[in-house]
A = this chain, B = another copy of it.
Amino acid sequence: MVDAGSFDATGFRKALGSFATGVTIITTRDDAGAPVGLTVNSFNSVSLNPPLVLWSLAETSASLPIFRAASHWAVHVLSSGQEALSGRFARRGEDKFAGAELENGLANVPLLRGCSARFQCRTAFQYEGGDHVIFVGEVLAFDRADVAPLVFHAGRYAHATRREAADSLPRDAWLEGSFNEGFLGYLLGRSHLEFFSRITPLLEQEQLSDVEFYLLSTLTLKQRLAVDDVAEALKGVPEGPRETALRNLHARGLLRIEADGASRLTPGGSACALRLISAAKAVESQVIDQLGADEAAALKSLLNRLLHVLDPQVESLWSE
C-alpha cells in the first residue's frame, strides 16, 4: 500500500494500467476550421437517458483550449486494425489527418472511418478533475460496426478474446480419466489433425505423406537442414518415419543431400512446395475468414508464445 505521504506517480500509472480499456480518438475543429484529434483511453459511458459519455484531457495539452471552446466533438472507438492510427494520434506535431478519408459529422466535426463505434457529441459539461478537465458530452448521433476492438492494457496493445464457458472449468477437469478440451495437448493435436485434413487432398495429389510435407515446408523456411536440424525440426516424429520421409523426397528428386548429409530443396522440390503453399493459402484464408481475422491473429500470437515456452532455444524464424 502506498499512502499519500510518499505518493509514487510511476506506480500509480502502472496500477491504473491494470484496468484494461479500449482506445479512442477524439476529434473536433479549431477556430480556423482545421481538424484536431488525439488518442484517449480515459473514455467511458455515463448516462443512458440523456445519452452521455465522458473523457478527460490534460491541462497541459495543446488541444485543451480548442476542446474548451468546441461546442461539438466526436469519439471514435478504434478497431483492432487501427493500432497505427492510434499511434499517430497519440504523437504531437505530426499531420495526423494526412491521407485519412474524412467524413463531415454534425457541426462539421471530422469523422474517421473503419472504427468499432463513433459517438457525435455536443459538450454538456466540463468538470474540474485535478490536472485534467473532464468533458461530458451528450451523444447526438452514433454508429457501430461489428469489428474487433483495439485494447490497451498494462501500457501495451492487446487483443480481446471472448471467453468460453469452458474457460471457467477447473483447470484439471481433464484429470478425471480422459483427455478433453481442457487439455492443451489434446487441443493442439486435434486442431492440427483437423486443419491438416483440409490439406490432405492436396498432398494426395502430390503423393506426399504428412511427414514429407512437414519436412518440405520446413525446408522452404530454413533452406538447408543439417542432419541434426532434421531431427530437431521433426521432433516428435520417430526416427523410422523421419528417415523414410527423407529417403522418399530424395528418391523423387525433390530434395538433395549434400556431402555432409545436409538436405536442400531441388528446383523441383521448391516448385512442389510452392504449389502446396498457394493451395494451402486458400484453405487457410477460408478458415481465418470463418474464425475472424482478429481471433486468428490472437491465436497465432499465442501459438508463437507457446512455441517459445516449449522450446526457448528456438530462434524466431521471422528474423531470418
Q: Is A306 an interface residue (CB 8 A)?
A: yes
In the assembled complex, which residues on chain B have CB atoms less than 8 Å from the CB atom of A187?
300, 303-304, 307
Q: Is A49 an interface residue (CB 8 A)?
A: yes
Known A-B contacts A184-B195, A196-B189, A300-B184; A116 and B177 likewise in contact (beta carbons under 8 Å) = no
Q: Is A28 an interface residue (CB 8 A)?
A: no
Sort chain A's interface into a size bin: 35 or more
Q: Is the CB of A134 within 8 A of B54?
A: yes
Q: Is A162 an interface residue (CB 8 A)?
A: yes
Q: Is the CB of A20 within 8 A of B19?
A: no
Q: Is the CB of B142 within 8 A of A153?
A: no
How many copies of this chain does one complex carry? 2
Binds B, one of A62-70, A230-238, A248-256: A230-238
A83 contact from B163, B169, B277, Cβ within 8 A:
B163
Q: Is the CB of B303 within 8 A of A200?
A: no
Q: Is the CB of B15 within 8 A of A24?
A: no
Q: Is the CB of A131 within 8 A of B48?
A: yes
A12 contact from B48, B197, B318, Cβ within 8 A:
B48
Q: Is A301 an interface residue (CB 8 A)?
A: yes
**With the chains together, A234 CA to B291 CA distance in Å?**
23
In the assembled complex, which residues on chain B have CB atoms less than 8 Å from the CB atom of A200?
235-236
Known A-B contacts A177-B274, A179-B220, A309-B287; A52 and B130 likewise in contact (beta carbons under 8 Å) = yes
In the assembled complex, which residues on chain B have CB atoms less than 8 Å from the CB atom of A295?
302, 305
In the assembled complex, which residues on chain B have CB atoms less than 8 Å from the CB atom of A119?
15
**With the chains together, A189 CA to B113 CA distance in Å?**
37
**Can you list, as one digit per residue, whether each of A111-128 has a CB less than 8 Å from chain B (1) or not (0)?**
000001101100011011
Would you give 26 A-B contacts (Cβ < 8 Å), ordered by A? A1-B142, A1-B143, A11-B144, A14-B144, A19-B22, A20-B20, A45-B56, A125-B128, A125-B129, A134-B134, A159-B167, A166-B300, A166-B304, A174-B281, A177-B220, A179-B218, A179-B280, A184-B296, A184-B300, A189-B214, A191-B307, A193-B237, A198-B310, A200-B235, A291-B305, A295-B305
